[in-house]
């Protein structure tokens, strides 16, 4: 304790306090919340410090009031008090800021007593989204209300990610999925899923501050904050949210300063039990030019990928789109579109919209001919050459078996059946020799291919279910190559 020294200054008193505080909280928290503080005066054991904003004051009072009170008692002795000098915006029309003094709370945060700032006092934290004020009700989540779990079609390609997302939406910050990273290629539904999580959280917890922002937008905001010397306000704003949804974090690649500031925000949110949701176009391990310490944090929770939707999921997506648009189409048209657009959901929905537009503008009924004409804009070659690789993939997708399995030595019944059917179609629909066909299936000899074709023919005559599967596959191959 140094209070007995009458020559002690506010600077030296705060210096002693800072040393004690820095030993009791994480380094990054100290840099964020205590570095910006300036000691102003010390009179009669009352230490006055200046903080950048009302929000800053409220954060210190909510999270560090006990530590501050004990530290002040250690340095200045019993009876010591802390007062804040807060820089605020002038609400009377002048652009010049002014200050207001507030005492520290003399009670713990569980005593249900607090210090209330006058309502006419503004807040000078610069909201990077240009939203006046910083009250929770004034923060726009930037969420699209059309993105919900109800219209996010579930399939094998996204089941893990959707289930994890729903768990997070039910209990944000309270699951092991923090952060939750959703990764996958373009147009597979990453933005839809994370915004569905955000919208569901808002339904369940109306007081939660949910914020969706792209990494590119965050990067630009940070650059602006550096130019305008408002970096502290930038950090404070993001630390204020309860759920941060950051889209496309691969844009942080090679941006050292942006990674550093996001690292600070990430740590603060995570330490205070806030939920972090991220998306990327690739798995964390494949991200380039991202600091290792940040990659490590990306891996703390759960990383779930969104794969390319299979045929049945694509059919379900198109049916959902038709339901939303209030239209119907022949099944053969839906199947044709689903077969030919197998890369991503965005293109699939785009094809559906184009088909509806063509029908409306030309006053034509939606049929297979119109679909073929429209698909020329989406598929480079409307007539696909049938290859053994293509047959293998289509058959394996139908039976939900990895292509690698039909090339392996496994004798599991379902794999053998898929292998034999693939060989059957390869012999019937391609010009490949028996030896060449066998090479595509783990270097099997020509006699194996002959046996497979004979087995398929025999089963089609005796097993109705087997025949139905082969006929359905034949139909899908035909549609896919129109």
C-alpha closest to that of 102 among 124, 120, 87, 89: 87
User: How does strand 98-103 pair with strand 81-88?
Assistant: antiparallel
Task: For residue 334, give both structure tokens.
Answer: 């839906």
Residue that the structure tokens 């109306």 belong to: 206
Rounded to the nearest 10 degrees, what angle do helices 10-22 and 65-76 cross at? 130
159-306: CATH topology is Rossmann fold (3.40.50)
User: How does strand 210-214 pair with strand 180-184?
Assistant: unpaired
d(CA 117, CA 132): 17
pLDDT one-digit tens code per residue, 114-139: 332 332 223 445 556 554 444 444 57
Residue that the structure tokens 């040393």 belong to: 19
Predicted pLDDT at 108 = 34
Q: Answer with the residue of higher pLDDT: 389 or 96.
A: 389
The length of the chain is: 482
C-alpha closest to that of 38 among 22, 47, 49, 46: 49
CA distances to 63, 194, 216, 307 from 189, rounded to whole Å, are 38, 9, 19, 10
197 touches 277 (CB < 8 A): yes
DSSP 8-state symbol, 15: H
d(CA 437, CA 442): 10
d(CA 328, CA 39): 71
39 touches 16 (CB < 8 A): no
10-103: CATH topology is GMP Synthetase; Chain A, domain 3 (3.30.300)
> Is CATH 1.10.10.10 the classification given to domain 311-375?
no
User: What class is the 388-480 domain?
Assistant: mainly alpha
Task: For residue 15, give both structure tokens.
Answer: 């210096």
418 touches 383 (CB < 8 A): no
d(CA 413, CA 75): 78
Q: Does 159-306 match 388-480 in CATH topology?
A: no
pLDDT one-digit tens code per residue, 335-389: 888 877 777 777 777 777 777 777 777 677 777 777 777 776 665 444 456 788 8
Spatial neighbors of 314 by CB under 8 A, at least 6 apart, are 338, 341, 342, 348
d(CA 288, CA 295): 10
Q: What's the whole-number average pLDDT of the chain?
A: 81
pLDDT one-digit tens code per residue, 426-460: 998 887 888 889 988 998 989 999 999 999 999 98
Domain ranges across the chain: 10-103, 159-306, 311-375, 388-480
Does pTM surpass 0.75?
no
Question: Measured in whole angstroms, how far is the alpha carbon of residue 423 from the centre of its chain?
Answer: 42
């Amino acid at each position: 304790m140094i209070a007995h020294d009458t020559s002690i200054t506010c600077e030296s008193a705060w210096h002693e306090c800072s040393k004690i505080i820095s030993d009791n909280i994480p380094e990054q928290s100290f840099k964020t919340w205590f570095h910006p503080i300036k000691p102003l005066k010390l009179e009669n054991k009352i230490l006055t410090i200046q903080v950048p904003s009302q929000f800053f004051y409220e954060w210190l009072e909510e999270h560090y009031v006990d530590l501050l009170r004990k530290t002040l008692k250690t340095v200045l002795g019993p009876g010591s008090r802390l007062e804040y000098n807060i820089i605020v915006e002038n609400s009377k029309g002048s652009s010049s800021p002014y200050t207001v003094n507030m005492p520290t709370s003399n009670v713990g945060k569980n005593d249900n007593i607090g210090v209330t700032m006058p309502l006419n006092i503004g807040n000078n934290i610069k909201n990077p989204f240009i939203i006046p004020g910083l009250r929770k009700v004034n923060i726009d989540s930037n969420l699209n209300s059309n993105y919900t779990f109800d219209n996010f079609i579930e399939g094998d390609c996204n089941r893990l990610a959707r289930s994890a997302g729903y768990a997070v939406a039910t209990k944000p910050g309270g699951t092991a999925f923090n952060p939750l990273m959703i990764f996958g290629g373009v147009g597979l539904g990453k933005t839809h899923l994370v915004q569905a999580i955000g919208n569901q959280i808002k339904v369940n917890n109306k007081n939660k501050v949910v914020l969706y922002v792209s990494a590119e937008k965050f990067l630009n905001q940070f650059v602006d904050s550096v130019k305008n010397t408002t970096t502290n306000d930038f950090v404070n704003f993001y630390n204020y949210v309860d759920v941060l949804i950051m889209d496309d974090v691969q844009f942080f690649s090679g941006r050292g300063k942006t990674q550093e500031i996001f690292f600070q925000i990430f740590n603060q949110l995570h330490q205070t039990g806030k939920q972090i949701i991220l998306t990327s176009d690739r798995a964390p391990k494949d991200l380039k030019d991202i600091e290792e310490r940040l990659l490590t944090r990306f891996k703390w929770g759960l990383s779930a990928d969104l794969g390319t939707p299979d045929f049945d999921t694509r059919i379900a997506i198109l049916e959902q789109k038709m339901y939303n648009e209030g239209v119907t189409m022949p099944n053969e048209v839906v199947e044709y579109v689903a077969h030919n657009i197998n890369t991503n959901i965005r293109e699939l929905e785009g094809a559906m919209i184009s088909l509806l537009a063509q029908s409306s503008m030309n006053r034509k009924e939606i049929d297979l001919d119109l679909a073929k004409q429209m698909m020329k804009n989406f598929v480079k070659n409307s007539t696909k050459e049938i290859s053994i690789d293509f047959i293998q993939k289509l058959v394996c997708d139908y039976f939900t078996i990895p292509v690698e399995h039909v090339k392996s030595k496994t004798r599991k019944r379902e794999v053998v059946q898929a292998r034999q059917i693939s060989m059957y179609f390869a012999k019937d629909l391609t010009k490949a020799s028996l030896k060449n066909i066998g090479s595509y299936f783990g270097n099997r000899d020509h006699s194996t291919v002959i046996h497979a074709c004979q087995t398929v023919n025999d089963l089609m005559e005796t097993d109705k279910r087997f025949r139905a599967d082969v006929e359905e596959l034949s139909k899908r191959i035909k549609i896919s190559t129109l």
